[in-house]
């Protein structure tokens, strides 16, 4: 059976998810520090890791399809639980361990992503507020040749507009 290959694929995915989790932790610190350069680097690394996960996922789907054929099951019905019921001790324990690790990593990802999203939102809100203060954008109502009104933004800003 292709269980050893599946275990290898899942272990590879776990290693990448561990790297992504570390980057996500660092991302939170970088967001608080406002280090845009490092944030760009992290996003670039994350993008590469996501591509690697995509490759592993394609391999995992192919492997599960082969296992499904061997077990005379539908591939979408195969889960770690269904496999561990049919496997001997060592392979069963290995798959359960991978599943538990992945579940823990994904739960922490969810929490970190929520926190990072809130940090980004707060940063954007602060930037908008600061720009609003600097530019002091106001609207003035003007009339066109046909007598219709339209709003025109005026910017009596503290910034020199000749620049």
Q: How many domains does the chain have?
A: 1
Q: How does pLDDT run across 23-51, given as a tens digit for each residue? A: 999 998 998 888 889 999 999 999 999 99
Q: Which residue has the higher pLDDT, 65 or 1?
A: 65
Task: Identify whether the C-beta of residue 7 lies closer than 8 Å to the C-beta of residue 84.
Answer: no
- Give the C-alpha distances (Å, rounded to integers) separating 88 from 45, 64, 78, 151: 38, 18, 17, 74
- Would you say residue 128 lies in a domain? yes
- The predicted model gives 113-137 an average pLDDT of 79
- Would you say residue 162 lies in a domain? no
* pLDDT at position 141: 60
Q: What angle do CA 100, 73, 104 make, to 5 degrees?
A: 10
- The predicted model gives 127-146 an average pLDDT of 68
What contacts 45, CB < 8 A, 6 or more positions away? 23
54 vs 49: CA distance, rounded Å = 9
Which CATH number is 109's domain given? 1.20.58.300
Q: What is the chain's mean pLDDT, rounded?
A: 84
* pLDDT at position 46: 93
Domain that holds residue 149: 3-154
Whether 91 has a pLDDT exceeding 60, the answer reads: yes
- Would you say residue 160 lies in a domain? no
- Would you say residue 53 lies in a domain? yes
- Would you say residue 159 lies in a domain? no
104 vs 44: CA distance, rounded Å = 24
| pTM, rounded to two decimals | 0.71
Of the listed ranges 54-58, 102-106, 140-144, 156-160, the least confidently predicted one is 156-160
Taking each helix axis from N to C end, the angle separating 3-33 and 89-135, rounded to the nearest 10 degrees, works out to: 20
* pLDDT at position 163: 45
């Amino acid at each position: 059976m292709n269980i050893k290959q599946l275990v290898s694929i899942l272990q590879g995915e776990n290693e990448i998810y561990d790297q992504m989790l570390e980057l996500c932790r660092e991302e939170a610190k970088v967001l608080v520090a406002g280090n845009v350069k490092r944030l760009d680097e992290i996003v670039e690394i994350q993008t590469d890791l996501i591509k690697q996960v995509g490759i592993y996922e394609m391999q995992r789907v192919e492997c599960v399809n082969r296992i499904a054929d061997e077990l005379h099951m539908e591939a979408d019905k195969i889960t770690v639980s269904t496999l561990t019921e049919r496997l001997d001790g060592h392979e069963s324990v290995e798959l359960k361990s991978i599943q538990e690790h992945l579940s823990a990593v994904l739960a922490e990802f969810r929490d970190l992503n929520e926190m990072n999203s809130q940090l980004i939102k707060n940063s954007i809100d602060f930037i908008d507020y600061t720009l609003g203060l600097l530019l002091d954008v106001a609207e003035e109502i003007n009339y066109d040749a046909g007598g219709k009104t339209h709003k025109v933004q005026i910017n009596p800003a503290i910034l020199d507009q000749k620049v």
